[in-house]
Amino acid sequence: MRRTSAQGVLFGQAVANVAGISGSDLDCMDFLNLEGRMTAGRLAELTGLTTGAITGVVDRLEKAGFVRRERDETDRRKVFIATVPENIARIGRLYVPMQQAMQKLWSTYSDAELQLLLRFAREGYKAGLEATEALKGLVETETGKADAPKRKGRPRR
């Protein structure tokens, strides 16, 4: 699993390099491709990143032309993040070799085996999100951020 994960990260980084974005920005864009347009808050939930981090991701992806912000028709305060399909398509072609390799592999499994693999992947994703939250708590505890008092008012100079 670790080798597969590492290889997936390296493949994604190679694609991200060609696209001129970071690997984590590419991963966030993948969630948008899979789920469709969503709010920054929803993207944060899906990725386990903070909303502040997502703002930076969206800013970079928007600057690169891969996403755009769209105001909700009924509530102008609500903003959705949507992909720009014609620009996303330029990246999609880079995944063809991986798609072909995986389809060749999957063709060797029975339907029951594929169902098990799908269950493993879905539950593995959920476990990864839980681990990300636990890691955030651990880091906050070790760095003392969770216990640091919040300052009020204007920052001191």
Residue type, 152: K
Task: In whole angstroms, give the CA distance from residue 75 to residue 62.
Answer: 22
| SS3 state of residue 83 | strand
Burial class (CB in 10 A: 0-12, 13-18, 19+), 58: buried
Task: In whole angstroms, give the CA distance from residue 43 to residue 58.
Answer: 10
pLDDT at 157: 45
| Residues shown for the chain | 157
Task: In whole angstroms, give the CA distance from residue 154 to residue 55.
Answer: 23
Task: In whole angstroms, give the CA distance from residue 84 to residue 76.
Answer: 21
Give the pTM: 0.74
| SS3 state of residue 82 | strand
Task: In whole angstroms, give the CA distance from residue 137 to residue 146.
Answer: 8
Per-residue pLDDT of the chain (157 residues; tens, 9 = 90+): 889 889 999 999 999 999 999 999 999 999 999 999 999 999 999 888 899 999 999 999 999 999 999 998 888 889 999 999 999 999 999 999 999 999 999 999 999 999 999 999 999 989 988 998 899 889 888 887 654 444 444 454 4
Beta strands (DSSP E) in the chain are 67-71, 79-83
pLDDT at 156: 47
Task: In whole angstroms, give the CA distance from residue 4 to residue 10.
Answer: 10
